[in-house]
């Protein structure tokens, strides 16, 4: 089920905000559509991302999906474990499969995101 | 079966060359030489022949059975064309010969082939001039995009964008991108045709070109093509025609007549040259008069005395996109094909290609979902949507066909159709061959309901079963280590 | 003759199933005003008629000249077994191996080809082929630009002028800077190269042997390039590197080249074979198809196209390249060639080329008025300076039955008296001697 403790984008990323920092990953729906994930091009630490800006790529055997930042901020950390075990994004997209961390986030942008219920409704409408 | 390097026996020699007949040795100093020999094979000729013979028997070609791969036009490759291409007078010609002395007099036969092929392509497609340099369809698309960029640069137009329908082949947007353009996608409407309204809303002063395939990748002909041309030309956007589907329309439609400015054809599709397991192909590009000056050099001209020559005297040319004159041996085969068929033969090709595709579609419409149930052209798109209810996907149907001894159609393309299966029988398939395919598809549709599990396990009759593609990407074993 | 099997009777049956009365009905979507304004092609001809026609055309080509022309494309011996094997229709009438279960033949042979290219170039990853050595060189530039995120490429003047023109055409509409550094006495000019290197440059491109036939060890240039965070690309002659230091050994990151010398006929310009190999680190940036070894559901070894997420059919406008069809059958020829000649054979070909070129140099050097450019070492191709226009000289030598070499004035306007002569293992002592005598005769006129 869609975790209630975070917000969602129309491009299927989730973001968990804590004060001025944010943790970002992709949703269960996204990992399921992609299939077995084989490689992740992670954002660069220190790069300044804009909301909805392209910041990485998630590759599976048959597809490649761009990663968009849900919120503006500066990248402070990336999940380097994904370099050797990209499948963590498939098995645990909301936990071990986190992708990157931001700080200095733009708090005003949080309101533009969907909460868990809104995201689930959005998924239904996409079918 | 072993990898060829595993069959090596130390000291064994294959092809032996004669001993040196000159009384001297080279004087290359050791600092320029390899420290260790390249670890290549050590096999006898018979070993090599057996190895590749065994490999060939694990393959499937047009000569094996029906190959209905949509968008690829897997038609029969005439053996006559192979014979012509192998003629010593063509095969052994060094490409620099016409550049050695003035006038190209050393290669009049070869230049004639290229020049006359260009003329024939002009007539078949309604264009004013051709270049045979592009070595594949995608290469032709890129060349076309470069010509368009040169055209706009010459007119001081600031054009940065190319519009491409969402059902287009992936080479379209990637070619436009490599030529330096931004790509914007135009949706297809519910009738399977380009959404004209969306086009009108998206096109602007910064649009350099619109790339179209007609019939499109859904196998449908856009009857409003003149309107699209008018919209494009209002903004001086050039109209590009992707000729991959030319097999549907020879003698029925010429892109040049319909105001397309530039196009490419695929010799390895429409013009019967073999696919070779993934190439070589050729993607000649045709243009209207206003773009002719930008064509790559060299170009072939015919002098008043009837002889042919190479000319580089085109100051606005985009330059070189290939080392020489294109994939000559491929062009030669296509030329032989066109001469064999003539006008009547080419028209028959399109008529039979379209009939065959419609026959397949109508025969299967009660068994598979047909997203756009209207007359298709040379290919039809079915969907495995119905079978999905039993958890059977397009890929399962494809793998099951393999156990029937049939190469699957294209699957998961075009991207806008869910569980797509794109079937292009081509004109060289007989009714019996089509019936065999249709029958297999019907049986598979039944199995999808009665025994879906058997489809998940397919294929079982091939040298290998379904392969672990995830492991392939993770291990990245691209080079044999012994 | 259109290779169509169906009879009118069968077509009638099929039309009934389609619910149409005539084939014309199936074309109803094409408006009448869009029908062809003309479709005037010659009438189709039969095989016997066309054989005559093509034989006449073939005879109009001077294919019997004894060939001393190179320039990156060489008249090498092609073993008969290659034609026999690639004309097996399971190879040449197959398409791209998208359905791996039906294409293990193609896939395994590509995997083996990739391995052969890696072993020859001394690098770790090869792709399944690109169109030719020139477009391959451009693709290598793109890899370097993508990997370093810099947009300047330094091109050594020894790189084939045809390839340099291709690079210019490809980059004309992009914000990529190409800087050319002329050679000095035929070899790469370290001083000029090093002063051009900086941390805004993506890569340096060198060629070995270079267009003038000159060979070099570029290890020092590679080291310098790496110190600036640049990549180093080498375009190579595959026969030559059977004995010359490989790109891998010199530290290059990417090697490309023209594979025509590996069992592919000259065929008036194509189809040819662009090969490319790189370090493992650059694998994901590689254009084109790549075959990987894996296992099937039963644990049996098999081969499959891999890393497809880079390619155009998935990545579309963000793909590493737009390449789709490549030169698969030519790559198969090259692989069979390398397998037939093998470890010793390929060295023998290379040594014969170099030995015979040395002999040619000595015979030609002895002609009064002719200077062989010898300040730098060469492999099988070398430059001579003639007392007359090289093009004129070559023209006269045609009458003696020779394609004597390539007049450099064609690409270098201030080198009209210079001729580039190539010697392969096919040239006999007798032919070389005859060339020297003919040259002497022409110069005496």
**Which CATH number does the domain housing residue C330 bear?**
3.40.640.10
| End-of-domain residue from the set C312, C338, C364 | C338
B52 within some domain? no
Alpha-carbon distance A83 to A87, whole Å?
A: 10
- Contact A38/B470, CB-based, under 8 Å? yes
B44 within some domain? no
Question: Nearest 5°: phi and psi at B210?
Answer: -120, 130
Mean pLDDT in residue range B257-285: 96
Locate the DSSP E strands across B166-206: 182-186
Summarize pLDDT for B277-331 with one digit per residue, the tens.
999 999 999 999 999 999 999 999 999 999 999 999 999 999 999 999 999 999 9
Residue A127: pLDDT band by 50, 70, 90 thresholds? low
Nearest to C314 among A38, A62, A66 (CB): A62
C26 within some domain? no
Expressed as residue numbers, the domain containing B160 is 79-339
Summarize pLDDT for C264-283 with one digit per residue, the tens.
999 999 899 999 999 999 99
Kindly report the nearest CA distance between residue A36 and chain B, in angstroms.
7
Minimal-distance CA residue of chain B relative to C162:
B323
C60 within some domain? no
Q: Could you tell me whether strands C201-208 and C152-156 are parallel, antiparallel, or unpaired per DSSP bridges? A: parallel
Kindly report the nearest CA distance between residue C244 and chain A, in angstroms.
37
Phi-psi region of A114 (alpha: psi -120 to 50; beta: other; left: phi over 0): beta
A35 within some domain? yes
Mean pLDDT in residue range C155-181: 96
The b-or-e profile of B363-391 (16+ CB within 10 A means b, else e) is bbeebbbbbbeebbbbbbbbbbbbbeeee
C8 within some domain? no
Q: Are residues B466 and B320 in the same domain?
A: no
Summarize pLDDT for A95-110 with one digit per residue, the tens.
999 999 999 999 899 9
Determine the angle formed by the axes of helices B431-450 and C8-18, rounding to 10 degrees. 40
Residue A18 touches partner B, C-beta closer than 8 Å: no
Q: Are residues B333 and B349 in the same domain?
A: no
| End-of-domain residue from the set B296, B311, B339 | B339
Nearest to B96 among C36, C71, C241 (CB): C71
Residues of C in contact with A66 (CB under 8 A): 318
Minimal-distance CA residue of chain A relative to B476:
A38
Choice between C154 and C316, residue whose per-residue pLDDT is larger: C154
CA distances from C103 to A88, B4, B395, C297, C305 (A): 32, 17, 16, 17, 10
Query: pTM for the full model?
Result: 0.95
Residue B159, pLDDT score: 96
Question: Nearest 5°: phi and psi at C31?
Answer: -60, 150
Residues of B in contact with C258 (CB under 8 A): 323
Residue B103, pLDDT score: 64
- Single out the residue of B214, B240, B258 nearest to residue B146, CA to CA: B240
Q: Report how many domains make up chain A.
A: 1
CATH number at residue A98: 2.40.50.100
Alpha-carbon distance C292 to B58, whole Å?
A: 17
Mean pLDDT in residue range B216-241: 93
Residues of A in contact with B473 (CB under 8 A): 38-39, 59, 61
Residues of C in contact with A38 (CB under 8 A): 309
CATH number at residue C417: 3.90.1150.10
Minimal-distance CA residue of chain A relative to B475:
A38
Summarize pLDDT for A5-35 with one digit per residue, the tens.
999 999 999 999 998 899 999 999 999 989 8
Three-state DSSP state, A49: strand
Summarize pLDDT for C69-96 with one digit per residue, the tens.
999 999 999 999 999 999 999 999 999 9
Residues 6+ apart with CB under 8 A from A103: A20, A21, A22, A73, A74, A76
Residues 6+ apart with CB under 8 A from B361: B370, B376, B380, B382, B423
Three-state DSSP state, B123: helix
For residue C425, pLDDT over 90 is answered with: yes
Summarize pLDDT for C112-154 with one digit per residue, the tens.
999 999 999 999 999 999 999 999 999 999 999 999 999 999 9
A112 within some domain? no
Alpha-carbon distance C236 to C126, whole Å?
A: 14
Q: Are residues C333 and C392 in the same domain?
A: no
Q: Are residues B312 and B353 in the same domain?
A: no
Nearest to B477 among C73, C268, C292 (CB): C292
Tokens coding C104: 């293990």
Q: Are residues C332 and C368 in the same domain?
A: no
Alpha-carbon distance C249 to C123, whole Å?
A: 8
Phi-psi region of B12 (alpha: psi -120 to 50; beta: other; left: phi over 0): beta
Q: Are residues B91 and B210 in the same domain?
A: yes
Residue C315 touches partner A, C-beta closer than 8 Å: yes
For residue B413, pLDDT over 90 is answered with: no
- Contact A61/B474, CB-based, under 8 Å? no
Choice between A53 and C322, residue whose per-residue pLDDT is larger: A53
Summarize pLDDT for A40-93 with one digit per residue, the tens.
999 999 999 999 999 999 998 888 889 999 999 999 999 999 998 999 999 999
| End-of-domain residue from the set C310, C338, C366 | C338
Neighbours of A22 (CB within 10 A): 25
Expressed as residue numbers, the domain containing A68 is 7-107
Neighbours of C216 (CB within 10 A): 25
- Contact B120/C41, CB-based, under 8 Å? yes
Residues of A in contact with B472 (CB under 8 A): 61
- Contact A62/B470, CB-based, under 8 Å? no
Q: Report how many domains make up chain C.
A: 2
Question: Does the model's ipTM exceed the 0.90 cut?
Answer: yes
B110 contacts B84 by C-beta, under 8 angstroms: no
Percent of chain C with pLDDT over 90: 93
Choice between C430 and A35, residue whose per-residue pLDDT is larger: C430
Expressed as residue numbers, the domain containing C137 is 80-338
Summarize pLDDT for C360-405 with one digit per residue, the tens.
999 999 999 999 998 899 999 999 999 999 999 999 999 999 999 9
Minimal-distance CA residue of chain B relative to A36:
B470
C265 within some domain? yes
């Amino acid at each position: 089920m869609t975790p209630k403790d975070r917000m969602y984008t129309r491009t299927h990323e989730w973001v968990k905000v804590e004060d001025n920092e944010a943790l970002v990953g992709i949703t269960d729906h996204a990992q399921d559509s992609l299939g077995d994930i084989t490689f992740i091009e992670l954002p660069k630490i220190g790069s300044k991302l804009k909301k909805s800006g392209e910041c990485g790529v998630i590759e599976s055997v048959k597809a490649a999906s761009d990663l968009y930042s849900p919120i503006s901020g500066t990248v402070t950390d990336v999940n380097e474990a994904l370099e050797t075990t990209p499948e963590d994004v498939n098995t645990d997209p909301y936990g071990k499969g986190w992708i990157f961390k931001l700080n200095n986030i733009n708090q005003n942008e949080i309101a533009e995101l969907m909460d868990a219920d809104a995201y689930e409704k959005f998924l239904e409408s996409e079918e | 079966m072993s990898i060829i390097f595993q069959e090596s026996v130390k000291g064994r020699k294959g092809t032996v060359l004669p001993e040196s007949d000159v009384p001297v040795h080279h004087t290359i100093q050791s600092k320029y030489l390899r420290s260790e020999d390249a670890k290549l094979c050590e096999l006898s000729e018979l070993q090599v022949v057996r190895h590749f013979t065994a490999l060939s028997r694990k393959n499937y070609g047009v000569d094996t059975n029906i190959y209905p791969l949509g968008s690829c036009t897997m038609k029969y490759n005439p053996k006559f064309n192979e014979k012509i291409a192998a003629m010593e007078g063509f095969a052994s010609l060094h490409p620099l010969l016409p550049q050695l002395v003035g006038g190209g007099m050393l290669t009049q036969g070869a230049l004639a082939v290229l020049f006359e092929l260009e003329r024939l392509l002009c007539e078949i497609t309604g264009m004013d001039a051709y270049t045979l340099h592009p070595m594949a369809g995608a290469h032709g698309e890129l060349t076309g995009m470069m010509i368009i960029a040169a055209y706009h640069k010459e007119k001081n137009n600031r054009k940065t964008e190319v519009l491409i329908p969402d059902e287009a082949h992936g080479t379209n947007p990637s070619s436009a991108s490599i030529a330096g353009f931004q790509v914007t996608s135009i949706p297809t409407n519910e009738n399977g045709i380009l959404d004209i309204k969306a086009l009108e809303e998206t096109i602007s002063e910064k649009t350099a070109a619109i790339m179209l395939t007609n019939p499109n990748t859904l196998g449908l002909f856009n009857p409003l093509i003149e309107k699209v041309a008018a919209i494009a030309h209002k903004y001086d956007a050039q109209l590009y025609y992707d000729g991959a589907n030319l097999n549907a329309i020879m003698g029925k439609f010429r892109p040049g007549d319909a105001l397309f400015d530039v196009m490419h054809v695929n010799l390895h599709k429409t013009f019967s040259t073999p696919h070779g397991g993934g190439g070589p192909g050729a993607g000649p590009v045709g243009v209207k008069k206003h773009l002719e000056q930008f064509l790559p050099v060299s170009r072939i001209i015919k002098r008043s005395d009837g002889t042919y020559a190479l000319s580089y005297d085109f100051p606005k040319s985009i330059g070189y996109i290939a080392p020489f004159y294109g994939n000559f041996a491929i062009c030669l085969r296509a030329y032989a094909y066109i001469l064999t068929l003539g006008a009547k033969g080419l028209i028959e090709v399109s008529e039979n290609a379209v009939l065959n595709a419609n026959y397949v579609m109508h025969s299967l419409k009660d068994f598979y979902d047909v997203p756009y149930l209207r007359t298709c052209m040379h290919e039809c798109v079915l969907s495995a949507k119905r079978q999905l209810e039993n958890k059977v996907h397009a890929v399962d149907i494809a793998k099951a066909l393999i156990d029937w001894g049939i190469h699957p159609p294209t699957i998961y393309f075009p991207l806008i159709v869910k569980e797509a299966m794109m079937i292009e029988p081509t004109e060289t398939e007989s009714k019996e061959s089509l019936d065999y395919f249709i029958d297999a598809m019907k049986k598979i549709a039944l199995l999808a309901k009665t025994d879906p599990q058997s489809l998940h396990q397919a294929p079982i009759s091939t040298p290998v079963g379904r392969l672990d593609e995830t492991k392939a990407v993770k291990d990245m074993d691209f080079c044999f280590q012994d | 003759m259109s290779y169509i099997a169906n009879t009118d009777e069968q077509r009638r049956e099929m039309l009934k199933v389609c619910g149409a009365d005539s084939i014309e009905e199936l074309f109803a979507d094409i408006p009448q005003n869009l029908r062809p304004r003309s479709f005037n092609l010659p009438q189709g001809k039969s095989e016997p008629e066309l054989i005559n026609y093509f034989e006449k055309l073939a005879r109009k080509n001077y294919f019997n000249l004894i060939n001393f022309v190179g320039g990156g494309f060489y008249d090498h011996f092609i073993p008969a077994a290659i034609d026999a094997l690639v004309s097996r229709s399971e190879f040449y009438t197959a398409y791209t191996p998208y359905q791996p279960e039906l294409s293990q033949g193609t896939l395994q042979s590509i995997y083996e080809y990739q391995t052969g290219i890696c072993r020859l170039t001394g690098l770790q990853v090869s792709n399944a082929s690109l169109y030719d050595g020139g477009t391959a060189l451009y693709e290598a530039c793109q890899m370097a630009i993508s990997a370093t995120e810099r947009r300047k490429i330094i091109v050594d003047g020894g790189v084939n002028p045809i390839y340099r023109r291709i690079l210019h055409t490809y980059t004309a509409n992009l914000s990529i800077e190409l800087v050319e550094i002329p050679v000095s006495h035929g070899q790469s000019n370290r001083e000029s190269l090093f002063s051009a290197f900086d941390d805004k440059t993506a890569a340096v491109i060198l060629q070995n042997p270079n267009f003038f036939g000159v060979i070099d060890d570029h290890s020092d240039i590679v080291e310098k390039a790496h110190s600036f965070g640049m990549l180093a690309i080498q375009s190579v002659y595959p026969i030559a590197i059977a004995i010359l230091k490989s790109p891998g050994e010199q530290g290059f990151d990417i090697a490309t080249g023209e594979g025509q010398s590996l069992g592919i006929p000259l065929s008036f310009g194509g189809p040819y074979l662009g090969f490319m190999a790189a370090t493992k680190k650059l694998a994901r940036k590689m254009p084109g198809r790549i075959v990987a070894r894996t296992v099937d559901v039963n644990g049996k070894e098999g081969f499959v196209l891999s890393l497809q997420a880079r390619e155009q059919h998935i990545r579309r406008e963000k793909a590493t390249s737009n390449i789709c069809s490549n030169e698969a059958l030519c790559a198969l020829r090259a692989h069979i060639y390398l397998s037939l000649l093998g470890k010793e054979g390929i060295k023998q070909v290379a040594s014969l080329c170099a030995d015979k070129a040395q002999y040619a140099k000595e015979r030609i050097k002895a002609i009064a008025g002719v200077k062989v450019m010898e300040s730098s070492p060469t492999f099988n191709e070398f430059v001579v300076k003639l007392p007359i226009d090289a093009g004129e000289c070559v023209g006269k030598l045609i009458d003696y039955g020779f394609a004597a070499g390539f007049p450099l004035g064609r690409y270098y306007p201030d080198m009209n008296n210079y001729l580039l002569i190539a010697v392969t293992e096919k040239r006999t002592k007798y032919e070389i001697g005859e060339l020297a005598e003919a040259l002497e005769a022409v110069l005496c006129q």
